[in-house]
């Protein structure tokens, strides 16, 4: 392994650079190829991207828009817009992606109870209408959310906070559902729960400020929530069809992703507690690693179980006495590290016995009261 002792800018080009005197004068050295065959180069003298943009040495490249700086094991990129202003920051060459639920979590969007209005009486008084078990305890829920964010940051993730907005409801704290990040941009969804529909636009606007483009948006009569979406691998998205995500929504997702080589598979969901309850596909399964899933087996459709088994998945069953405390809702941090609710001790022990490191936080008010666990509270934006 090579260790660099000086600050270096890395430039990525669309194709191999011509070997010219101009290249020699800027002292580029090829160090390898990235995943799509582009050369990765070190620039030992160019510390200012603006200077390089002005030189415009290679008009066929997009290095004018990106400057990387090595920080330890991470290559952090500063991405500029055409006027040279800061647009976003990337890690290891990517500002965003999304075709994995188990890679190492690097960037994640959350929305705190404070930003969601849990401390505002006019917002909090809708708790019964929105399916909460009791009036939210703001102080406790905010403390629990703060602990979740500490856990995410201690695992190496960069945590972004969605700002407050007048059209957000108590449910906005569950940031996983209104959008889906993928390798080609963010998809704004159309939640099946009407009070959540404005959240999709808030996600798109905020992520656009991070330099994440919109790939598309689900439109009525389509309904879609990301809690029903599970990446089985980088080219296969399993989507649960139920009360929150309907056939029209799945068809629109397929139309958005199929041109990018993604197969969308529909999975039927049970009636369960009925249309007013929150029953997502991810209420019944959580990806732990590439070939392991935590499952609520009796509630999964036979064809979903057959699909997982045909892909050689190892299925770890929850402790069924902990179903109502969201035992099946577990967030993968990557590399066999998980975040789970501390209330589900027996399920967490099963996960440890299966070879996973399980970190926990309390979720009595933040999660169990509103029906959303660790995965629901997070919108991953980048995994590596």
Taking only the tens place, the pLDDT of each residue in 94-151 is 789 999 999 999 999 999 999 999 999 999 999 999 999 999 999 999 999 999 999 9
Residue 284, pLDDT score: 98
Confidence band for 78, pLDDT divided at 50, 70 and 90: very low
More confident residue, 343 or 82: 343
HEC string of the chain? CCCCCCCCEEEECCCCCCCCHHHHHHCEEEEEECCCCCEEEEECCCCCHHHHHHHCCCCCCCHHHEEEEEECCEEEEEEECCCCCEEEEEECCECCCCCCCCCCEEEEEECCCCCCCCCCHHHHCCCCCCCCCCCCCHHHHHHHHHHHHHHHHHCCCEEEECCCCCCCCHHHHCCCCCEEEECCEEEECCCCCHHHHHHHHHHHHHHHHCCCCEEEECCCCCCCCHHHEEEEECCEEEEEECCCCCHHHHHHHHHHHHHHCCEEEEEECCCCCCCCCCCCHHHCEEEEECCEEEECHHHCCHHHHHHHHHCCCEEEECCHHHHHHCCCCCEEEECCEEEEECCCHHHHHHHHHCCCEEEEECCHHHHHCCCCCCCCCCEEEEEC
The tens digit of pLDDT for each residue in 299-336 reads: 999 999 999 999 999 999 999 999 999 999 999 999 99
Q: Output the pLDDT for position 93.
A: 60
User: Which percentage of the chain shows pLDDT scores above 90?
Assistant: 73
Mean pLDDT across 60-82: 44
Q: CATH 3.75.10.10: which residues of the chain?
A: 105-383
Res. 181: pLDDT tops 50: yes
At 90 the pLDDT is: 62
What is the CATH class of 105-383? alpha beta
With cut-offs at 50, 70 and 90, classify the pLDDT of residue 275.
Answer: confident
């Amino acid at each position: 392994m090579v260790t660099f002792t000086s600050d270096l800018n890395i430039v990525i080009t669309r194709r191999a650079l011509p070997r010219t005197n101009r290249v020699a004068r800027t002292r580029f050295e090829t160090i390898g190829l990235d995943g799509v065959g582009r050369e990765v180069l070190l620039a030992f003298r160019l510390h200012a991207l603006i200077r390089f943009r002005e030189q415009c040495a290679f008009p066929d490249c997009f290095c004018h828009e990106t400057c990387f700086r090595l920080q330890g094991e991470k290559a952090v990129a500063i991405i500029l817009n055409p006027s040279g202003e800061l647009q976003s920051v990337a890690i290891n060459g990517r500002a965003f992606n999304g075709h994995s639920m188990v890679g190492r979590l690097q960037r994640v969007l959350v929305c705190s109870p404070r930003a969601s209005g849990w401390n505002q009486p006019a917002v909090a008084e809708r708790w019964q209408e929105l399916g909460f078990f009791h009036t939210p305890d703001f102080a406790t829920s905010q403390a629990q959310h703060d602990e979740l964010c500490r856990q995410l940051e201690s695992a190496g993730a960069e945590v972004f906070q969605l700002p407050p907005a007048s059209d957000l409801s108590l449910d906005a704290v569950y940031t996983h559902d209104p959008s889906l990040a993928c390798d080609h941009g963010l998809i704004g969804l159309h939640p099946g729960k009407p009070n959540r529909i404005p959240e999709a636009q808030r996600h798109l606007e905020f992520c656009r400020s991070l330099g994440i483009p919109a790939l598309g948006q689900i439109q009525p009569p389509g309904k879609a929530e990301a809690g029903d979406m599970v990446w089985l691998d980088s080219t296969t998205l399993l989507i649960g069809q139920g009360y929150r995500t309907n056939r029209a929504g799945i068809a629109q997702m397929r139309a958005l992703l199929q041109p990018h080589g993604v197969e969308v598979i529909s999975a039927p969901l049970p009636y369960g507690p009925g249309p007013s309850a929150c029953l997502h596909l991810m209420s019944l399964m959580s990806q732990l690693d590439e070939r392991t899933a935590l499952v609520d087996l009796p509630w999964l459709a036979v064809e979903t179980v057959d699909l997982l088994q045909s892909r050689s998945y190892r299925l770890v069953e929850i402790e069924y006495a902990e179903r109502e405390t969201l035992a099946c809702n577990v967030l993968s941090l990557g590399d066999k590290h998980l975040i789970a609710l501390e209330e589900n001790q027996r399920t967490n022990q099963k996960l440890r016995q299966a070879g996973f490191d399980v970190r926990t936080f309390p979720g009595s008010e933040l999660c169990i009261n509103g029906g959303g666990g660790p995965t629901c509270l997070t919108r991953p934006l980048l995994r590596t």
